Structure 1
Amino acid sequence: MPHYLYLVRHGEQQDAEHGMPDGPLSPRGTRQAMLLAERLGGVPFTGAWHSPLQRAAETARIIAERLPSLTPEPSALLFDCIPSGKAPETPSAYDPFFGSVTEADIDAGRAQMADATAEFLQFRPGDHHDLLITHNFVIAWFVREVLGAPEWRWVTINQANCGLTVLQQKPGRPWTLVTHNDLGHLPFELRTGLPDQLLV
């Protein structure tokens, strides 16, 4: 039986545009999480984990309230992080972003994501449906890892708030990207977290 991994970015954060490192969901973020819960209602989940940060924990709580069989657990492996640094082939357009992070940030993020992919991408025999509620960069790293793309390419992969990405692994086969950043459960006015031109 296949192993499915459902990756979800948290709902929109209140006042996120003002640079808050963490905080509660906005009213729009709460609605995003509620609609995502409806979308996931028919999935026979076998496990669920979330980042300990408030915006992800609140998203997990809202989903769990509507899916009584789900009991999300906090995991430090799903914290927001910088998964890797600038590579020689990274386009110079990303210099300002990488210039704003420290080597310590990068080292910590790289170690965290090595542990996260080892933990959550290990094959589990039987029918497994696991939900991870986390952050943009973490999901980008998982997608990059599954596709075997160069390390720096995570910075080019973006997820909207409460967008749904699904990975699948069948016995004897590599992980497959089934869907990326699916927003079918969200009306246009609730699609946030991406550049405007990508939200239509």
Structure 2
Amino acid sequence: MKTELILIRHGETEWNSQNRLQGHKDSALSSEGLRQADALATRLATFRFHALYSSDLGRALETARRIAARTGHTVVPDTRLRERGLGILEGLTREEASQRHPEVYESYSHEGADYVVPEGESTGQRLAHAVACLQELGTRHRGERVVAVTHGGVLSLLFRHSLGIPIGTPRAFSVLNAGWNQFDIHDGKLRLVTWGDVTHLQATSRDDT
């Protein structure tokens, strides 16, 4: 029996709007991010699912808590759903990172899955954590539907992993804040079903005009 996994990227943060690298450091949801989280909550309030998980980082938890307030679920934090740790690059814009740590930023931008950012981690390490988490959820919730709030970097890795794309391949797709992405998991294998659905955001935008 398959498990349906609705994986959601957190709402926009202040650092997202400033194009800052976040990693394990945190930034509050922006006013737009709060609107996005509430739009997700409205959609999920009419959607039957069995459990609500979240990265333990603040931006994801705030998104999940706003969903839980509408759906009645308990938020279950899991560190394996965290964003990739970016160590000494966290909190910097890409321009600042390239100026202050040129060699590290160059390696971060172009090295493969095994490159570990100083004081951070590699994409391969982060993907392994995320896949282990989803496989566990697939076993725990066999035949059920689960929602999990995570991060853009994690979703980007899972997208590549599910399609057999090398994880070091440059990204040629969008990972939208508050986007709705569905993966099915069966016998520990992920299958991509829906990617980047933001119809709930468009609906609230129309309602606001």
Q: Which residue of 1 aligns with 2:63?
A: 59
- CA RMSD across the alignment: 3.0
Matching of residue 76 in structure 1 with residue 90 in structure 2: no
Q: 1:150 to 1:103 in 2, by over 3 A?
A: farther
The percentage of counterpart residues that share the same residue type is 30
Q: State which of 128, 151, 162 in structure 2 corresponds to 1:135.
A: 151
* Aligned residues of 1:43 and 1:129 also touching (Cα < 8 A): no
Specify the code of the residue in structure 2 equivalent to 1:14: E
Q: How many Å separate the matches in 2 of 1:134 and 1:173?
A: 19
2:48 corresponds to which residue? 44
2:196 match? 181
**Mapped contact 1:141–1:154 kept (Cα < 8 A):** no
1:189 CA drift (Å): 8.9
- Cα distance change on mapping 1:55 and 1:73 into 2, 3 Å: same
SS in 2 for 1:185: helix
* 1:6 alignment counterpart: 6
Provide the residue aligned with 2:134 in structure 1. Answer: 120
TM-score normalised by structure 2 residue count: 0.72
Counterpart among 164, 181, 194 of residue 148 in structure 1: 164
Distance in 2 of aligned mates of 1:189 and 1:153: 34
Q: What amino acid is the match of 1:176?
A: R
Structure 1 residue runs without a partner (length 5+):
84-93, 191-200
Aligned-pair distance for 1:97? 5.3
Secondary structure of 2:14's counterpart equals: coil
Matched residue count:
177
Query: Mind listing any 5+ residue stretches in structure 2 that lack a counterpart?
Result: 87-104
CA contact (8 A) 2:34 2:63 kept: yes
| Shift in Å, 1:12 | 0.9
**Partners of 2:21 and 2:128 in 1: CA distance:** 27
The whole-number CA distance in structure 1 between the counterparts of 2:60 and 2:185 is 25
Task: Output the amino acid matched with 1:112.
Answer: R
Change in 2 beyond 3 A, CA 1:3/1:20: closer
What secondary structure does 1:80 align onto?
coil
Range with greater deviation from structure 2 (134-143 or 156-165): 156-165
